[in-house]
Amino acid sequence: MWNKLKSPWGWIPTLYFAQGIPYVIVMTVAVIMYKRLGISNTEIALYTSWLYLPWVIKPLWSPVVDLLKTKRWWIVTMQLIVGAGLAGVAFTIPAPNFFQYTLAFFWLLAFSSATHDIAADGFYMLALKEGEQSYFIGIRSTFYRVAMITGQGLLIIVAGFFETWTGLDPVNISVKTTDKIEVVSDFPVIDLDQPSSSDLDFIVTEKDIEMSWESVPASYADSIINVAYEHNVENGFVVSEGELAQQAGEPSWFARNISDPLSQKLAAIFNPQDIEEVSDIAGNVAIVGVTLSSPPDSDDPVVMNTAQTRGDQSIQLVSGDRLEFNRDNWNKTAFMVFQSDPRLDSSVVTHFEGLSGNIPLAWSITFFGLAALFILLFLYHKLIMPRPDNDVSTAGNSDNGIFKEFFETFSSFFKKKDIGLALSFLLLFRLGEAQIVKLASPFMLDSREIGGLGLTTGDVGLVYGTIGILALTLGGILGGLMASKKGLRYWLFPMTIAMNAPNIVFIILSYTTPESLWLISSAVAVEQFGYGFGFTAYMLFMIYFSEGKHKTAHFAICTGLMAMGMMLPGMISGWIQEAVGYVNFFIWVMICTIPGFILIFLLRKKVAPDFGIKKK
C-alpha cells in the first residue's frame, strides 16, 4: 500500500490540485469575497489585478529555486506558507481594516503559489522518467483544471452555505423569459409602515418573474437601471462609487504618480479592449422590490447578497446584488433589476438566491477550512513524495558562487544548442491559437449582421464552459497517453496538425453561420479536443529543451516565453478582425499556423527519438 502511494499516481494528482487552488483563490475567489464584503468594483479591479504580477515575473526568481535547497523542500515549504497565508486571510476578514490586511496575505499567497509552481514543475521533471513525464502530462493538467472548478464552484458553494447558516431564510427568485410583449413601466413598492411580523425576514414583491425576451431601446433599459440605482443610493441601500472614493481619501503620491499610471499601462498591454459598436437596443428588464418585515435587532445592518445559483446565464442581475437594510430604511423598498440578453429569442429560466448571513464569519470559516486543507497537503506530500537522487541544490559554496550562478542560469539558457529555433518555436507555435482564443467568444456573441453567430451569454457558457472544457481535458489525457507510447519525436508532427488544423471549423462557422447550437458545440469540441491533444507536444518540448543542470529555472523561462507567445498576437487580434471581418480573420489565423509547421519540420530531427517513451 505504501509503495502504491509512493508511485506517481499517489502524488501527481494532489500536487497539481494543490498548485491550482491558490491561483484560483487569488484570481477568482478573492474577487467574489470582496464583492460580498462590500468593496467597490473600482477597488476590486484595481487591487486584485496586481495580484497576477507574481505569475508574470516568476521566471525572474526561478534560479533561486534551482540554486537553493531541493525542489521537494520548496514544494512542502510553500504549501505550509500557503496554509499560513490562508489562515491569515481567515483571521483578518473580521478586522476593521480587513481590506488592507487580507490583500497583504493574498500577496503572500500569490508569491508562494508562483514559487510552488516553479518547484512543482521542476520536481515533475526530476522525479519522473521521460516516458512517465509524457504519460502524466494530461493527468496533471486534468487535476489542475479540477482545482479551477473546485475554486470557482465548490468553494463559493461552501461560503454560501455558511452565509445561509448564519443569517435569515434565503430569498429564492426565479426569472423566466416568455414570448409575451411586456415592457416594465412601474417600480413595485411595498407599503410597510409597521412591522408585519415579529420574526425578522425579507419581503419581496414577486419571487416567480416572467419577462419578455423581446429587446427594448438601450436608452430605456439604461434609464430603468439608473433610476433603481439612484433610489437605492438615496435610501442607503447601497453606497455610491463616489462616496466610496471619498471615504478612501485622497490617493497617495505613490498611487498618483507610479502605481495608477503603471496599472493603466499594464491593463492596456495585458488586457487590450476590442472596440465594439454601441448598440441602440438592449435586453428587457424586470424589477423586484425588497424590504424587511421588521426593524433589525441590532444597530448592525442586515446585508442581502444575491447571486445566480443555476440556470441560463442569459439573464443577469444588473443592479441591487448587494443591499443593506438598517433601522432607518428597513420599511422602505429596495430595488433589484434583472436584464435578459438582447440576443435571446427563446424561453429560459434562471434562479437567484439572496443570502443575509454573517458574511465575514462565513468567509472566515471557509478560509480556515482551506488553511486546514493545505496543512494536510503539506503533511501528505512531506510523507509521500519521493526523494529523487538528482533533486539537489546547485548552489556554490560561497555567496559569490551563488551570485555568479544566478546569472549563469539565465545565460546558460540562451547558450543552449539550437536556441534560435527553440525560441521561434516557443513564440510562434501557437500563433494562430493565440488570436483565436481572444476572438472566439466575441465571434459567437456578435450579431449575424456583423458576421457573428448571435449566441446568448448562456449559450457561450455551455459551448465553452462545459462542452469545450470536457473536450480539452479528454484531448490532453489522450495526448499524454499516446506520447508515452511512441515518444515526442513520433507525435510532434501529428500533434501539430491536431493543434492547428481544427481551427478551420471557425472558417466554416463564419461562412455558414449555422443556427444549430449542437452543430456549433460539435465544431468547438473538435477544435478544443485538437488543442488539448496538440498542446501535449508543446509541453513536452519545453521539458525536453529544459533538460540540464538548471532544468527548473529553464522550464520557468520557457513558460514565460509561452505566455509572451500568447500575449503579443492576442493584443493585435481584435484590430485585425475589425479591419478584415470574421471570415478573413479566420483565414488569416490558418495562414498563421504555417510557421509552426515549418519549425516542426526543422526541429523534429533534433529531438531524441526515444524522448518521452515510457520504459517498461
Per-residue pLDDT tens digits for 559-595: 888 878 887 888 788 888 888 888 899 999 999 999 9
Cα atoms in the 13 Å half-sphere on the side-chain side of 392: 6
Average pLDDT, the chain: 82
Orientation angle between helical segments 8-24 and 98-127, nearest 10 degrees: 150
Average pLDDT over residues 206-215: 87
Would the pLDDT of 246 be above 70? no
Please name the amino acid found at residue 140: R
Residue 149 lies in a domain: yes
- CA 355 – CA 308 distance, rounded (Å): 11
What's the confidence (pLDDT) of residue 508?
Answer: 92
Collect all residues with Cβ–Cβ distance below 8 Å to 60 and sequence separation of at least 6.
none
Q: Is residue 453 domain-shared with residue 479, that is, in the same domain?
A: yes
User: Same domain for 50 and 197?
Assistant: no
Confidence (pLDDT) at 396: 53
Does position 5 have pLDDT exceeding 80, yes or no? Answer: no
Q: For 320-325, what is the mean pLDDT? A: 89
Domain co-membership, 75 together with 179: no
Q: What letters, b where the CB count within 10 A reaches 16 and e where it falls short, cover 148-168?
A: bebbeeebbebbbebbbebbb
Same domain flag for 156 and 80? yes
Residues 6+ apart with CB under 8 A from 156: 29, 32
Residue 466 lies in a domain: yes
Averaged pLDDT for residues 170-180 = 89
On whether residue 501 sits in a domain, the answer given is: yes
**Mean pLDDT of all residues in 250-275:** 53
The predicted model gives 49-70 an average pLDDT of 80
Residue 404 located in a structural domain: no
Please report, for the chain, how many H helices and E strands are present, in that order.
26, 11
Mean pLDDT, residues 95-117 taken together: 90
Q: What is the mean pLDDT of residues 313-317?
A: 87
Q: Are residues 151 and 258 in the same domain?
A: no
Residues 202 and 163 in one domain: no
Same domain? For 460 and 605 the reply is yes
Most confident segment among 90-104, 231-245, 560-574: 90-104
Q: Which CATH number covers residue 113?
A: 1.20.1250.20
Question: For residues 409 and 550, what is the distance between their CA atoms, to the nearest angstrom?
Answer: 6
Q: Which of 165-169, 239-243, 244-248, 558-562 has the lowest mean pLDDT?
A: 244-248
Stretch (H or E) spanning 589: helix 551-591
pLDDT winner (highest mean) among 300-309, 362-371, 512-521: 362-371
Looking at the fold, whether 61 and 208 belong to one and the same domain comes out as: no
Quote the pLDDT of residue 1.
46
Instruction: Give domain status of residue 407, yes or no.
Output: no
With respect to residue 413, please indicate whether it lies within any of the assigned structural domains. no
What is Dmax (Cα atoms) for the chain? 84
Nearest Cα neighbor of 155 from 245, 24, 39, 48 is: 24
Rounded to an integer, what distance in angstroms lies between the CA atom of residue 481 and that of residue 134? 7
| 352 vs 278: which has the higher pLDDT | 352
| Averaged pLDDT, 207-211 | 89
pLDDT at 268 over 60: no
Q: Which of 58-62, 203-207, 312-316 has the lowest mean pLDDT?
A: 58-62
Q: Got the DSSP string for 529-586?
A: HHHHHHHHHHHHHHHHHH-STTHHHHHHHHHHHHHHHHHHHHHHHHHHHHHHHHHHHH
| Sequence letter at residue 346 | S
Claim to verify: residue 312 and residue 179 sit in the same structural domain = yes
497-550 pLDDT, tens digit per residue, is 998 888 899 999 998 888 888 899 899 999 989 988 988 888 888 888 888 777
Q: Does 402 fall in a domain? A: no
**pLDDT band, residue 271 (cuts 50/70/90):** very low
* 194 three-class SS: coil
Alpha-carbon distance of 349 to 241, in angstroms, equals 31
- Name the most confidently modeled range: 118-122, 379-383, 440-444: 379-383
Q: Of 403, 399, 519, 508, whose CA–CA distance to 459 is shortest?
A: 519
User: For residue 199, is pLDDT > 70?
Assistant: yes
Percent of the chain with pLDDT over 70: 86
**Confidence band of 277 (pLDDT split at 50, 70, 90):** very low
Cα 243 to Cα 611: distance, rounded to the nearest angstrom:
61
Instruction: Please tell me the distance from the alpha carbon of residue 489 to that of residue 492, in angstroms, as a whole number.
Output: 5
pLDDT for residue 365: 92
Model confidence band, residue 105 (pLDDT cutoffs 50, 70, 90): very high
**176 Cα distance to chain centroid:** 28
Residues 469 and 323 in one domain: no
Judge whether residue 611 has pLDDT over 80. Answer: no
Please give the pLDDT value at position 419.
87
Give the pairing type, strands 171-178 and 208-212: parallel
351 and 370 together in one domain: no
Q: Quick one: pLDDT at residue 41?
A: 66
Please report whether residue 542 resides in a domain: yes
Q: Are 446 and 461 in contact (CB under 8 A)?
A: no
Q: Is residue 245's pLDDT more than 60? A: no
* Residue 343 reports pLDDT greater than 70: yes
pLDDT value, residue 367: 94
Segment 297-303 shows an average pLDDT of 81
Residues 582 and 467 in one domain: yes
Q: Which domain holds residue 225?
A: 170-356
Please check the confidence at residue 255 and state whether its pLDDT lies above 60: no
Q: Among 195-209, 272-286, 526-540, 577-591, which is the least confidently predicted range?
A: 272-286
**Amino acid letter, residue 577:** Q
- The string of pLDDT tens digits covering residues 184-193 is 556 776 666 6
Whether 274 has a pLDDT exceeding 50, the answer reads no
Total domains in the fold of the chain:
3
Instruction: From residue 509, give the alpha-carbon distance in Å to each of 229, 300, 593.
Output: 40, 55, 19
